[in-house]
């Protein structure tokens, strides 16, 4: 393949992946999924019933893998029958979003019903307003992942079939989303009632913010907040993963010989080393800027 074509495809894949990552994170914030949802789940037990959707489908990786695999399967079936790729990917994403909607509904109703003794009601209007939003984000995520997988399978001639690639990228986007953007929702948005700049004190567990700028807070309010930081950085994380892991093999094309293949591995290692240094740099800067939480007891004694 022409190097320029390769770079173009890679850029397109990176862009699609960035959108997929951002919408994945916002989808999990609207529905409240994965690890931060443990606080939503805990709240009624601590006498804080709420009107936040609880999308306990499963962890984010399996639920995104499900969406993407369903989308990839439907698209692959349609392509086999002769449909155009763009149409097939779109219809695949619609089917996936619809099925994800049913999963969200059973999860919300089930978790709330299992908290009868804590008097957490099932609010039907929460479902009616949240599930279409969840499905919308799910459509965007699935469609973009399918674009990435389709480009890999056809243009870059990856040996894995479309549904399997979609499945694997679904697992990866879910793993990245629950590792990055979710922290913004779990550690900051849910606990805006405590001072900024620390982790959640275990004593505050379950005491999530339940009131919004207007009325009672719901998942859509949460996505408004997370769209300012958590969502976009999740997009960057997934986009970077797809782009960088493809970049090293596209620029240093191993088809021209094993030696260049080794250069691509070395390039990958250099990227990782740079990231380690960057992390260290941020660690030092943050410690200098924020300072310590408590005084050093030994030093305090010496001073006294």
Partner 1 sequence: MSAGGSGAAAEAIPQNNIIAFGVAGGLIGIYAAYFLVDMVGQYMSFIGALGAICGMIWGAAAVRRVASYGLGTGVPSIGMLALGMGVLAATFGLAVGGVAGPVIALITAAIIGLMVGVLANKVLKMGIPIMEVSMTEIATAGTITIIGLAISMTGTFDFPVILSQVITTGYIAVIFIAGGLAILHPFNANLGPDEAQDRTLICGLEKGAIAMIIAGIVATVNEGASGALTILIGLALWYIGFSGYYDRVKRDAYAVVGSGLLPSKEELE
Partner 2 sequence: MIDVAGILMQNILYVILITLGGVLISWSVHFVPVGGAPAAMAQATGIGTGTVQLAAGAGLTGLVTAGAMMQITNNAALVIASGAAGAMIMIAVTMIVGTWVYIYGVGCPPASAKVKYDPITKDRQDLYVSQGTEGHGLPTVSYVSGVIGGALGGIGGSVVYYSLMSVTNQLALADLVGMASVFAVGIFFVNAVIPSYNIGGTIEGFHDPKFKRFPKAVVASLVATLFCALISVLAIGGL
Residues 6+ apart with CB under 8 A from 254: 260, 261, 264
Check residue 256 for interaction with partner 1 (CB under 8 A): no
- Contact segment (CB under 8 A) with partner 1 among 16-24, 61-69, 235-243, 283-291 equals 61-69
The count of residues in the chain is 304
Nearer to partner 1, 47 or 275 (CB): 47
- Contact segment (CB under 8 A) with partner 1 among 2-10, 140-148, 156-164, 190-198 equals 156-164
CA distances from 239 to 81, 96, 221, 288, 297 (A): 31, 22, 26, 30, 45
**Do 20 and 148 contact (CB within 8 A), yes or no?**
yes
Residue 107 interface partner, choices partner 2, partner 1, none, CB cut-off 5-8 Å depending on type: partner 1
Residue 202 interface partner, choices partner 1, partner 2, none, CB cut-off 5-8 Å depending on type: partner 2
State in angstroms the smallest separation of the CB of 164 from partner 1: 4
Nearer to partner 1, 158 or 232 (CB): 158
State in angstroms the smallest separation of the CB of 212 from partner 2: 20
Q: What H or E segment, with its residue span, contains residue 212?
A: none
Residues 6+ apart with CB under 8 A from 264: 248, 249, 251, 252, 253, 254
Using alpha carbons only, give the angle 227, 283, 174 rounded to the nearest 5 degrees. 40
Residue 73 interface partner, choices partner 1, partner 2, none, CB cut-off 5-8 Å depending on type: partner 1
- The token duo for 293 is 């939480």
Residues 37, 141, 180, 222: which binds partner 1 (CB under 8 A)?
Answer: 37
Collapsing DSSP to helix, strand or coil, 138 comes out as helix
Check residue 110 for interaction with partner 1 (CB under 8 A): yes
- State the binding string over 115-154 for partner 1 (x if CB under 8 A, else -): xxxxxxxxxxx-----------------------------
Residues 103, 191, 225, 238: which binds partner 1 (CB under 8 A)?
Answer: 103
Using alpha carbons only, give the angle 257, 269, 264 rounded to the nearest 5 degrees. 20
CA distances from 64 to 98, 131, 139, 141, 185 (A): 13, 16, 11, 9, 18
Residue 144 interface partner, choices partner 1, partner 2, none, CB cut-off 5-8 Å depending on type: none
Check residue 107 for interaction with partner 1 (CB under 8 A): yes
Check residue 69 for interaction with partner 1 (CB under 8 A): yes
82-91 contact pairs (CB < 8 A, 24+): 85/150, 85/154, 89/143, 89/146, 89/147, 89/150, 90/143
CA atoms of 132 and 169, how far apart (whole Å): 24
Angle between helices 162-179 and 60-80 (to 10 degrees): 160
State in angstroms the smallest separation of the CB of 256 from partner 2: 9
Residue 192 interface partner, choices partner 1, partner 2, none, CB cut-off 5-8 Å depending on type: none
- The token duo for 1 is 């393949």
Residue 217 interface partner, choices partner 1, partner 2, none, CB cut-off 5-8 Å depending on type: none
**Do 26 and 135 contact (CB within 8 A), yes or no?**
no
Check residue 74 for interaction with partner 1 (CB under 8 A): yes
Q: Could you list the residues that contact partner 1 (CB under 8 A)?
A: 34-35, 37-38, 41, 47, 49-51, 56-59, 61-63, 65-66, 69-70, 72-74, 76-77, 80-81, 95, 99, 102-103, 106-107, 109-125, 160-167, 170, 210, 216
């Amino acid at each position: 393949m022409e190097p320029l074509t390769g770079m173009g495809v890679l850029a397109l894949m990176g862009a699609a992946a960035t959108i997929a990552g951002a919408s994945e994170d916002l989808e999990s914030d609207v529905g409240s999924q994965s690890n931060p949802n443990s606080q939503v789940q805990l709240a009624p037990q601590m006498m804080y019933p709420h009107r936040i959707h609880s999308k306990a489908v499963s962890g984010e990786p399996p639920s995104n893998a499900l969406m993407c695999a369903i989308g990839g399967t439907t698209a692959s079936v349609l392509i086999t029958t002769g449909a155009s790729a763009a149409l097939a990917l779109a219809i695949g994403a619609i089917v996936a979003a619809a099925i994800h909607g049913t999963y969200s509904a059973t999860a919300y109703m089930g978790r709330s019903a299992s908290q009868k003794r804590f008097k957490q009601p099932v609010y039907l209007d929460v479902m009616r307003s949240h599930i279409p939003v969840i499905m919308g984000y799910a459509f965007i995520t699935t469609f973009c992942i399918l674009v990435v997988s389709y480009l890999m399978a056809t243009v870059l001639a990856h040996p894995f079939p479309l549904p399997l690639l979609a499945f694997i990228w679904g697992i990866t986007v879910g793993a990245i989303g629950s590792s990055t953007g979710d922290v913004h929702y779990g550690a900051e948005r849910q606990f805006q009632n405590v001072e900024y700049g620390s982790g959640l004190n275990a004593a505050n567990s379950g005491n999530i913010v339940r009131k919004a700028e207007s009325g009672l807070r719901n998942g859509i309010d949460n996505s408004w907040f997370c769209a300012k930081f958590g969502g976009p950085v999740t997009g960057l994380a997934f986009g970077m993963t797809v782009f960088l892991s493809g970049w090293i093999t596209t620029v240093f094309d191993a088809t021209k010989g094993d030696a260049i293949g080794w250069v691509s591995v070395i390039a990958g290692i250099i990227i990782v080393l740079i990231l380690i240094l960057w992390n260290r740099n941020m660690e030092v800067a943050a410690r200098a800027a924020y300072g310590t939480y408590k005084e050093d007891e030994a030093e305090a004694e010496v001073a006294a």
